Structure formats: structure tokens, C-alpha cells
Amino acid sequence: MTETSTAVWPLSGFGDEVDPDPAVQAAVLLALGASHIEVRSAWGTNVSELEPEQVAMLKAILDDKGLKVSAVASPIGKVDVGLPVEHEVERLRQIISVARALDTTYIRIFSFYRGVGQSPEDIREDVLIRMRALAAEAAQAGVVLLHENEKGIYGDTPERVLDIMESVDSPALRIAWDNANFVQVGVKPYTDGYAMLRPYLEYFQVKDAIMASGEVVPAGEGDGELDATIAALKADGFAGFASLEPHLASAHELGGFSGPVAFGAAARAFAGLAARNGVTLS
């Protein structure tokens, strides 16, 4: 692919950052040019707690709007590593049923919080035991887990994300890359992590942050090196999902919120960066 050619990336976004109502989520995403939605919650209920009837209703709404699901943004692994291995494996089984019903193979996960007084090194083996168990469950089910580099979990820095990928060594475990989360742990995403993690990078979560304060801002307005990352992904032939996760109004343990106006501003900021780098969003 030459620098002057155009890449096409399917555009998605976290619907619950727009509104709790999936119909409103879908309408706003479609208006912003997205072809997909990332499902974290619907009607205020996290995907890990949705009943089968609710999942069927959600699928009907999205089908009616013509919107497909890029990934299920699960909270798997966003718990203390001291919980039994089976705790998250059982939750993953339920999430896999949701992913199947929504016709997607991607499930976002995390790599566990440590207890008070524990270092990342202290929990490494326990993390890897759990990540291997989750990857094995995913491989058996024919889905792909996307590890997000969230602050505070084991895999928060590029080096520890690489450790997970190399140690688990499963095609059922890949990376959901988040520039803002790297910034919030003092990492320059493109400079410090892109080259080492690119072989595993399969999904691009779009948000930016300011290094000094950790504040999340629209793409290109922070220290997340979004421009360089987009240019490199395009040059590498990346053709995966770009999923908007603006976090511009509030953030909490299981997600964040932006509202339609701020979400639209974030979408337009990313579209500008994408266009400047010869990337078409679809």
C-alpha cells in the first residue's frame, strides 16, 4: 500500500456513551457515518447481565437500523486477580452467548487488578493462568478476545501487554489498542509501544488524553500520538475496526459517557485525522 492510497476502516463506537437506549445509540452512530456499534450496555444494563430476551430485543433494534456489532465490550478481567479462575471463565461463557446472538466474534477483556500492596510482578503468574484459561475458552468457542490496555490492570504498559501476548500465545487473544489509556499511565503510545505491539493489534479504540492531567479529550487534542498511530496503521495495511470511545462527560469502573453532542464532536475530530492520513471511515 502506497502512502497516497486510501485505506477503508469500518467505523464503530460505544453505543452506551451516547444514550442508554439502543435505538438512540443506533440513530446517532448511523448519523455519524458508522456501520457498526460496540455493545457494552443496553438500557443501563451491562452485557454481562443482559437476559436472553433483552439480547434478542437489542439484535432486532440493530437489525432494523441496519447496524452491525463490531464487538461486545465485556468487563471480563476487570476484577481482582484473587478471584478464582472459574469466576471469569463462567462469566465469559455468558458473554460468548451474547456475542453469538449479536453476530460478532470479538469480545473485549482486561487483565485483572492487583490487591493492595501487590506489584505487577507479584500477580504475573496468576494473571497468566487466568488469561490462558480465558483464551482456551475463546478458542474452543471460535471467538477472539481483545485485551484492552486499561490503567491499573496488569496489562497497562506496552511491555506487560507484550508479556501477556507472548506468554499466552493464542490466536484467540489479540489487542484492542487504546492511546488514551497508555497516556494515563505515562506512556507515549506510538513512540513507546506501537512497534512492539503491532503484530497483535487487531482493533483500534479511539480516544486521546492529556499526559499532565490524564483528562480525556477528542482525538488529536491530547498527547496520545493519534496522528502518528493512524498514519502507521494505514501504512501497515490495517483494515480493522476503529471504535469511538470518547469518555468526554464521565467515566466509571465499567465504562464512560459522552452524550450525543460530545460523542459527535469526538467523531468529527477522529474523522478529520483519518481523512488527513488517507483513511476513509465506513
pLDDT for residue 252: 41
Q: Quick check: 110 and 73 in contact, CB under 8 A?
A: no
Least confident of 71-75, 203-207, 232-236, 255-259: 255-259
Task: Give the strands of the sheet with 36-39, arranged side by side.
Answer: 11-13, 242-244, 201-206, 173-178, 144-148, 106-109, 68-73, 36-39
Q: For residue range 90-145, list pLDDT tens digits in order.
A: 999 999 999 999 999 999 999 999 999 999 999 999 999 999 999 999 999 999 99
Supply the pTM of this predicted model.
0.95
Question: Does residue 5 carry a pLDDT above 80?
Answer: no
Q: Quick check: 71 and 106 in contact, CB under 8 A?
A: yes
Kindly indicate the confidence band of residue 207, based on its pLDDT and cuts at 50, 70 and 90: very high
Kindly indicate the confidence band of residue 208, based on its pLDDT and cuts at 50, 70 and 90: very high
pLDDT for residue 259: 73
Kindly indicate the confidence band of residue 241, based on its pLDDT and cuts at 50, 70 and 90: very high
User: What's the CA gap between 151 and 92, in Å, rounded?
Assistant: 21
Q: Within the chain, what is the greatest distance between any pair of CA atoms?
A: 51
pLDDT for residue 254: 43
Domains located in the chain, CATH noted: 7-281 (3.20.20.150)
* The three grid cell numbers given for residue 191, joined into one nine-digit string: 513512540
pLDDT for residue 266: 92
User: What's the CA gap between 232 and 38, in Å, rounded?
Assistant: 24
What phi and psi, each to the nearest 5 degrees, are found at residue 64?
A: -65, -35
